[in-house]
Amino acid sequence: MSDGAGAPAGTGPFATDVAIIGAGPVGLFAVFECGMLGMRCHVIDVLDVPGGQCAALYPEKPIYDIPAWPEITAEGLIERLAEQARPFHPAYHLGQRVERLEEDGDGGFRLVTSSGAEIRARAVMVAGGVGAFGPNRPPLEGLTAFEGKSVFYLVTRREDFRGKRLVIAGGGDSAVDWVLSLAGLAERVYVVHRRDKFRAAPESVERMRALAAEGRVELVIPYQLAGIEGKGGELTAVTVASLAGETRRIEADVLLPFFGLAMNLGPIARWGLAIEHNRIRADPATLETSRPGIFAIGDIAVYPGKLKLILSGFAEAAMAAHAAFARVRPGEALHFEYSTTKGVPGRDGG
């Protein structure tokens, strides 16, 4: 447990108003929203630093759809969210996951983590992103010998790819965003996708196509990965093949396959929550799950009309905090005030 630095402080038992499972962007913002309503939070995450996927998979990836930030890195966003939450002194239990969640007989919940920490909370918010995650690996012979040396599923330092010949495979936001970010840094960027249509944001796709028209990247379409060449973990070439059986050999130093994440809810799947397509079903008005007092926010939540955007998760955090207040403070009226009127407790005289 920690007040922000992540240093461990025993196994408790601890008592709090809200237990937040997941220290990604939405979980961190939930700390702020709960804090503004006078509710204390403990945050649990399997990673040893706050940030979720933003910290683990793409800290230097630019994000373009955060209000008031035309562009901000994932790492920068996490730093700002942690700073925003800091006045409310959240307790972090990092490097561990919640193994058991059960009702405590007093209207609240008892959570036990993999490190043996026991946390009692009046309400629980599951902000676990996509749950336990790992990359979807392409089925290439001998792939594991190159992983971590010249085949990477995430980019932690853009500078590592300066002057390299890159093959970026995939058609989603991660692939296209990294094409845009690395095009001016790498010697050459090849984009391999099985069809001409991309699933990324239309504006990003247009920018990538403009780079291709300028000759700064090459779109290898419609092709898919077929093989890799090299020795001692050092890549020398990538082979691609079309659906018609045509093949092409691309000399390359690095392969970046972005085929999404393999999702695994882990212990969450055993907590008696209504699950839909590996996500937790939630009430769109309150984000409460099928178990009263447990809320789902962010990418792990599903309901009709759900938009899988960080900013949607931020709104869900606010809605869940307001819905949880009645459970945490039964019988107490909630007098809502805007932050511009109320200020932030502990900061600027608030």
**Domain check: are 114 and 225 in the same one?**
no
Q: What CATH number is given to the structural domain containing 20?
A: 3.50.50.60
Residue 130 has pLDDT above 60, yes or no: no
Are 318 and 297 in contact, with CB atoms under 8 Å apart? no
Picking from 259, 285, 311, the residue at the C-terminal end of a domain is: 259
The number of beta carbons lying within 10 Å of the beta carbon of residue 48 is 12
**Domain check: are 87 and 42 in the same one?**
yes
Q: What is the pLDDT of residue 347?
A: 61
What 213-220 contacts at long range (C-beta under 8 Å, 24+ apart), as own/partner pairs, is: 216/183, 216/184, 216/189, 217/179, 217/183, 217/189, 217/190, 217/191, 218/188, 218/189, 218/190, 218/191, 219/191, 219/193, 220/190, 220/191, 220/192, 220/193, 220/248, 220/250
Q: What is the pLDDT of residue 339?
A: 67
268: closest CA among 65, 46, 106, 49? 46
In a domain, residue 347? The reply is no
Q: Which domain holds residue 188?
A: 137-259
Picking from 212, 229, 259, the residue at the C-terminal end of a domain is: 259
* Number of domains comprising the chain: 2
Q: What is the pLDDT of residue 7?
A: 39
| pLDDT tens, residue by residue, 81-115 | 999 999 999 999 988 889 999 999 888 999 999 88
**Percent over 70 (pLDDT), the chain:** 89
In a domain, residue 66? The reply is yes
| pLDDT tens, residue by residue, 146-187 | 998 999 987 878 899 999 999 999 999 889 999 999 999 999
| pLDDT tens, residue by residue, 190-199 | 999 999 999 9
In a domain, residue 82? The reply is yes
In a domain, residue 1? The reply is no
Encoded tokens for 9: 């402080």
Q: What is the pLDDT of residue 304?
A: 97
